[in-house]
Structure 1
Amino acid sequence: MRIFENLESEVRGYIRSFPTIFEKAKGALLYDEQGEKYIDFFAGAGTLNYGHNNDKISEALIEYLKNDGVVHGLDLATTAKKNFLQKFSDTILAPRNLEYKIQFTGPTGTNAVETAIKIARMVKGRSNIVSFTNGYHGLTMGALALTGNAFYRDEAYISRSNVSFMPYDGYFGDDVNTIDYLRKFLDDPSSGLDLPAAIILETVQAEGGVNVASSQWLRDLEQLCRDYDILLIVDDIQVGNGRTGEFFSFEEAGINPDIITMSKAIGGGLPLALVLLKPELDQWKPGEHTGTFRGNNLAFVASAVALEYWDNDDLSQAVKSKSEVLRNRLEEIAEKYPDANASVRGRGLVYGLELPEKNFASEVSTKCFEKGLIIELAGALDQIVKFLPPLTIKEDVLKEGLDIIDESIGEILQEKKERLTGEF
């Protein structure tokens, strides 16, 4: 690992949690240079919904390159882009009766968020944006202003202007309806809340702690936006692309956002980000918002193949089935170890196991890595063990990973008990 310590920036993060050199990957498995196997419950932070080196995607990419397909084309028309647009329209938009224009941005999710808030401000002629407590929307300047976690925010470099934070669903517990709270601020001309151009949210706050908004809360938020002429932006970068069981995370609630940001798994494992916006909002002048890597032809090829998973509801049903396995086992683990004070929450194949004792979740992640499982943390205090396996993970591999979680928690609690016993 010395070359990484000597040459790579101190900003590197995940390498510190999982200190080995990975060489190969397939499906839901990673292998390091020593041939050690690791089950992947991280999936590139939700990028690898279809698994590592998916055979169909890899074959399509190899064939495209062998035929000298265009790799870089700015926003020129290419066969790869044409095929992606047609596939996305036919498979995703049309069956859901959704009408959106598709804008390709820079290659990562934060680029999509920057684009979404820029067009919202331009169309509405207002600059304020409402974001929510525990929200995570990226780390470039505009997106960072929307991100709540203090770890990422510093007076030296953050631009806090024109963003207002409001409480997410359940932030005050079950006794406070946070939509009513927000409505009160909007109704009061002396509240200090400027009428926003848009409200942006994740329907499941993955990085923020796997906080799940109820369908009713989402419908009430949509109605509030309509009542006050505010655009509704759904950030579906991590929990879209089938992560919650449906392709879009908001489908269950039956809402129709004005703007949707997408990245991560939409590229089939390759860099791709896009913004879906209602046609009347597409008020850009040609070339008014650009980027050298807006659109990625290899990702178009990969994505068009990945979208074939949505030609029927087989994957959706599989996610829902595996979601039951995941939830049931996590609840069993929480009940099995009462000393952990664990709680479970999530949807589809994004789940969180909250372990409130300081550093306990971190210890679990470390112990899991030693036993051959890659799993990361979430929440403001890194108190959530976050489950984000590929959607295509085989059920026996999912259960094997859950066994490692069970064993790791049990061993850590036993070690704590032995240390306490030794002190007396």
Structure 2
Amino acid sequence: MSPTVDAAAPAGDAILRRQRIRESAARTYARSFPIVPVRAHGMTVEGADGRRYLDCLSGAGTLVLGHNHPVVLAAIRRTLDSGAPLHLLDLATAEKDDFTTALFESLPPAFADRARVHFCGPAGTDAVEAALKLMRTATGRRGALAFTGAYHGMTAGALAVTGSVTAAPPARGDVTRLPYPYPYRCPFGVGGRLGAELSATYTERLLDDPSGGVDAPAAMILEAVQGEGGVVPAPDDWLRAMRRITAERGIPLIVDEVQTGVGRTGAMWAVEHSGITPDAMVLSKAIGGSLPLAVVVYREEYDAWQPGAHTGTFRGNTLAMAAGAATLRYVAAHGLVARSAELGARMTARLAALRDRLPVVGDVRGRGLMMGVELVDPAGTPDACGALPADPALAVRVREACLRRGLIVELGGRHDTVLRLLPPLTITDEQAEAVLDRLADAVEAAARSAA
């Protein structure tokens, strides 16, 4: 039977109440943003209460063209009207062939020229599982090298290589944790370029130490910009060092581009900033054009699986492939990669000015339209690098203040104290100014309330 709606309560409130009753305690975004979206276009979301919001969450980076972009809707409608089968496991279809062509055209040529693609279950976490499983099969080894601050998904293998200890991960016996360069909160207490150099030196010496306790690993997995970890970009020199270290030792390098791909960082793929060619790239989110799709692309010499070695029922999402191909081509054809780099630099510069004016802003960082603002307690004691203590309560107040001002931004980082900005690549100059104005006003108001 259909649930009875309380006529005395607004429809949105009734929906939120039923969600609280019916859904699991693991729900997250619904807690941060107690709204019921009913319409969305571009980066504007309208709630059931009639309020409008600028969406800087963008489906955790999925919506590079924003909500309901015309080119995406046209691709979906065209596919529906064609009568194409919507679900065919991993059978060949014209839509899959077209998506694969668009994907390979977008990849760095040195990688794409000798690459294979595997279609996974529809979430990025399954592509991470597939990449790790593939490299274990190809190398005959078990272990993995992963990094502090990493986030790779919520299934068992992906959790094992994720840095957070709050997500109830499984045993990590096969995973060696390495220090990721994080200038503001440097794991070596030195910061800057030296911190990245020490990270590379530590990694190299650990792997070469016969008493280091690390068996030859099946793979190294890393993010070129850590997203959930607090929007921490890896220095290009450090990425090149990781590529050299792994290549010299025959260790496959997996780069997780789930959140950084399709123009987000000011390059089509984040690896292009450093010029490295990984052995595998994990892709999801934006590649499906707002619909579920995930793949792992890898160098053909690692294609060691037997038929059926990594399957899944929902590997043939025809609508997502059509929407994804349209998205990839639109981003390339309309200069959105360069737009991401240029506008992201301008927005980050203005955020940096906010740091200079407000002591609760400890650090501002990012790449392209993937930006982070770390909030701190200015009354706290700085660490060896001068970083102030995190202030989780302030961060929550800022997020709530943003929502009251019609701005959706989410938190991330070590203590959930980094405001993460992931606007669509189609954001206008006027919208960018509105985002920055609302954010600055929210930070100032929240800081005053704490004084």
**TM-score normalised over the length of structure 2:** 0.89
Paired position in structure 2 for 1:422: none
2:67, 2:361 → 1: CA distance?
A: 34
Paired position in structure 1 for 2:19: 4
Paired position in structure 1 for 2:8: none
Deviation at 1:90, TM superposition (A): 3.2
The DSSP-based 3-state class of the residue aligned with 2:339 is helix
Supply the AA of the counterpart residue of 1:400: A
Paired position in structure 1 for 2:3: none
Paired position in structure 2 for 1:200: 221
Supply the AA of the counterpart residue of 2:179: P
1:154-194 deviation digits (Å, cap 9, x = unpaired): 5xxx1322111010124322344211101111111111112
The DSSP-based 3-state class of the residue aligned with 2:254 is strand
Paired position in structure 2 for 1:325: 346
Select between 279-288 and 257-266 the one with higher mean Cα deviation. Answer: 279-288
Structure 2, gaps ≥5 residues long = 1-15, 378-390
| Matched-pair contact (CA < 8 Å) for 1:273–1:295 | no
Paired position in structure 2 for 1:378: 412
| Matched-pair contact (CA < 8 Å) for 2:72–2:327 | yes
Supply the AA of the counterpart residue of 2:138: V
Deviation at 1:93, TM superposition (A): 5.0
Select between 111-120 and 179-188 the one with higher mean Cα deviation. Answer: 179-188
| Matched-pair contact (CA < 8 Å) for 1:219–1:253 | yes
Paired position in structure 2 for 1:25: 40
The DSSP-based 3-state class of the residue aligned with 1:116 is helix
Identical pairs, percent: 40
- 1:400 paired residue among 419, 434, 445: 434
Paired position in structure 1 for 2:261: 240
- 1:90 paired residue among 101, 105, 110: 105
Supply the AA of the counterpart residue of 2:90: D
Select between 103-112 and 75-84 the one with higher mean Cα deviation. Answer: 75-84
| Matched-pair contact (CA < 8 Å) for 1:333–1:406 | yes
CA RMSD of aligned residues (A): 1.5
Deviation at 1:329, TM superposition (A): 1.3
- 1:222 paired residue among 219, 233, 243: 243
Deviation at 1:67, TM superposition (A): 2.0
Label 1:395 to 1:181 Cα distance change in 2 as closer, same or farther (>3 A).
same
Label 1:244 to 1:52 Cα distance change in 2 as closer, same or farther (>3 A).
same
1:80-110 deviation digits (Å, cap 9, x = unpaired): 1111122223344549764311110000000
Paired position in structure 2 for 1:288: 309
Residues 343-354 of structure 1 aligned to structure 2 (within 5 Å): 343-354=363-374
1:4, 1:178 → 2: CA distance?
A: 45
Residues 17-416 of structure 1 aligned to structure 2 (within 5 Å): 17-92=32-107, 94=109, 98-153=113-168, 158-170=170-182, 171-172=187-188, 173-174=191-192, 175-176=194-195, 177-312=198-333, 314-338=335-359, 340-357=360-377, 358=391, 359-416=393-450
The DSSP-based 3-state class of the residue aligned with 2:88 is coil
Structure 1, gaps ≥5 residues long = 418-424
Label 1:228 to 1:378 Cα distance change in 2 as closer, same or farther (>3 A).
same
The DSSP-based 3-state class of the residue aligned with 1:200 is strand
1:52-100 deviation digits (Å, cap 9, x = unpaired): 0010110121121122111000001111111112222334454976431
Supply the AA of the counterpart residue of 1:275: V
Supply the AA of the counterpart residue of 2:285: K
Supply the AA of the counterpart residue of 2:294: A
1:95, 1:279 → 2: CA distance?
A: 12
Paired position in structure 1 for 2:28: 13
| Matched-pair contact (CA < 8 Å) for 2:261–2:283 | yes
Paired position in structure 2 for 1:421: none
1:106, 1:164 → 2: CA distance?
A: 26
1:138, 1:312 → 2: CA distance?
A: 31
Paired position in structure 2 for 1:420: none
| Matched-pair contact (CA < 8 Å) for 1:219–1:255 | yes
The DSSP-based 3-state class of the residue aligned with 2:433 is helix
| Matched-pair contact (CA < 8 Å) for 2:107–2:269 | no
| Matched-pair contact (CA < 8 Å) for 1:346–1:352 | yes
Supply the AA of the counterpart residue of 1:376: E
Deviation at 1:385, TM superposition (A): 0.6
